[in-house]
Amino acid sequence: MNTILILDKDAKTGLSEDLKERILRILKEKAHLVEVVELGRNDVTPCFGCFLCLTKHVGICVTRDRIADIRNNPNRYDMTVFLTPVIFGHFGSTIKCAIDRGCGNQNLQVVVGYGDDIDDEEKSTFIDLTRKHRGKADIVHPGLDKQVDVYLTTSSEDSEAICEAFRKYV
Amino acid sequence: MENICLINGSLRGKKASSLVFLNYINRMLADAEFNKDIINVWARVRESYPEDILRAISRADAIIMVFPLFTYGIPGALMCLLEDFYLYAKANGYNKAAGIYIVVNCGFYRPEIMAELIRVMKNFCRRLSLNWRFAICMGAGPVAAVTVKIPLLNMKYRRALSAIASDIENGGAGQKDDCFIKPLLPEPVILWWKAQYEKKMKAGAASK
């Protein structure tokens, strides 16, 4: 199984690095091939909403950058893991640009948010953004992304629980 | 004279539906009564948005953000601006009384799918103790952008967008409900149109 782990290199914290290491350990234990992509603000171009990927160049993003390499080769990976800071109960802008551009694998995406200063409403907003709308709950593009799971960590204990849950994917 | 900041959260330039709504609201706010700053989000931001842009937002008495829904949330480009503004505001101060209005359009027929996006914006306001006013959410953005220009057909849109102007003129007090506007075209027509695009998209993905 090939996995790509996409994270925001400008928003690394002790919590995010610890979780990344734990996830990598689990994947490597099972001999999965893992590619870690650290994106920064300067590496990503936001989605322009040009719709060329739906019309003229179907399935291809015409913006040339690191995201396009990932996005235009969807079958290279079996699972995409996004590790994102949670800001206002939303993805950080760098990871949001990657998600908007369609970087996620269509079979399985795992979104993990992190932050040590997130209130209850922000936690619930972040979870609902994915759980109520993506994967099987997606009514706008039903079936486009088959499974999108979401987790959130604010502590080492949360990260431990996420790792336990993560084992089901491998 | 009040300062109004209008933010265009779309990167589509002149083709943007968001720009149509932004211009519509802009025309309702008299130039003689308001200082208006219009800010467009950028595709490439190196370190941070420049200080003059962040200062314009921080001194505004009303901030109107007009943008498309992307993956059920805020477009990455606008999120980048909000992150920079948050850091700038915390470090340099800002007008806490500023009223926040959002006008969002999505490609889908039902604007109710924007509920979580509204929660994100309310979280943003709560973090900065800003004065959340209300959201106007429109289904089938491109159809709405055409409809808004047609007299008589545009009644729902005109009423909703003029509510922003009158709320600003009245000082932005009291609680207002969010407004969800469905397009005039029937849902099956919009869904058929959307299905044509998706058929192409799925065929493209399968061929790779």
Cα B131 to Cα A56: distance, rounded to the nearest angstrom: 43
- Provide the percentage of residues in chain B whose pLDDT is more than 70: 97
Residues 109-138 of chain A whose Cβ lies under 8 A from any Cβ of chain B: 121-122, 125, 128-129, 132-134
Average pLDDT over chain B, rounded to an integer: 92
Check if the beta carbon of residue A85 is closer than 8 Å to that of residue A114. yes
Every domain of chain B and the residues it spans: 2-207
pLDDT at B190 over 90: no
In degrees, rounded to 5, the angle at the alpha carbon of residue B76 between the alpha carbons of residues B43 and A9 is: 90
Chain B contact present for A97, CB below 8 A? yes
User: Residue A87: which region, alpha, beta or left (left: phi > 0; alpha: psi -120 to 50)?
Assistant: beta
User: What is the mean predicted confidence (pLDDT) over A62-69?
Assistant: 89
pLDDT at A48: 95
Q: Which of B19, B85, B116 to mutate to test the interface with A (most CBs of A within 10 A)?
A: B116
pLDDT at B95: 97
Check if the beta carbon of residue B171 is closer than 8 Å to that of residue B98. no
Chain B CB contacts of A45 under 8 Å are: 43-44
Stated pTM of the model:
0.94
Out of A42, A74, A96, closest to residue B73 by CB? A96
ipTM metric: 0.94
CB contact under 8 A, A121 and B107: no
pLDDT at B202: 66
In the chain, the amino acid numbered A139 is I
Q: How many residues does chain B have?
A: 208
Cα B51 to Cα A135: distance, rounded to the nearest angstrom: 39
Cα A159 to Cα B65: distance, rounded to the nearest angstrom: 35
Check if the beta carbon of residue A150 is closer than 8 Å to that of residue A91. no
User: What is the mean predicted confidence (pLDDT) over B174-179?
Assistant: 92
Check if the beta carbon of residue B76 is closer than 8 Å to that of residue A97. yes
Please report which residue ranges of chain A form alpha helices under DSSP H.
14-29, 66-71, 93-100, 120-131, 156-166
3-state helix, strand, coil in chain B (%, to 5): 50, 20, 30
How far is it between the farthest Cα atoms of chain A?
48
Cα B75 to Cα B95: distance, rounded to the nearest angstrom: 25
Cα B156 to Cα B125: distance, rounded to the nearest angstrom: 27
Every domain of chain A and the residues it spans: 2-169
Chain B CB contacts of A134 under 8 Å are: 71-72
pLDDT at B194 over 80: no
> B96-136 pLDDT, tens per residue?
999 999 999 998 889 999 999 999 999 999 999 999 999 99
Among A121, A113, A64, CA closest to A85 = A113
DSSP string, A54-73: TTTSTT---S-SHHHHHHT-
pLDDT at B193 over 70: yes
CB contact under 8 A, B71 and A96: yes
Of A21-35, A51-65, B107-121, least confident by mean pLDDT is A51-65
Cα A86 to Cα B188: distance, rounded to the nearest angstrom: 37
User: What is the mean predicted confidence (pLDDT) over B143-154?
Assistant: 89
Quick one: closest CA in B to A63, which residue? B43
Among B143, B134, B129, CA closest to B180 = B134
Q: What are phi and psi of B61, to 5 degrees?
A: -90, -25
Q: Which CATH architecture has domain B2-207?
A: 3-Layer(aba) Sandwich (3.40)
Quick one: closest CA in A to B203, which residue? A58
Residues 6+ apart with CB under 8 A from A70: A4, A6, A37, A76, A77, A98, A103
User: What is the mean predicted confidence (pLDDT) over A122-136?
Assistant: 95
CB contact under 8 A, B119 and A128: yes
Q: What are phi and psi of B107, to 5 degrees?
A: -75, -20
Cα A127 to Cα A131: distance, rounded to the nearest angstrom: 6
CB contact under 8 A, A89 and B120: yes
Of A113-117, A141-145, B49-53, B67-71, least confident by mean pLDDT is A141-145
Q: CATH class for domain A2-169?
A: alpha beta
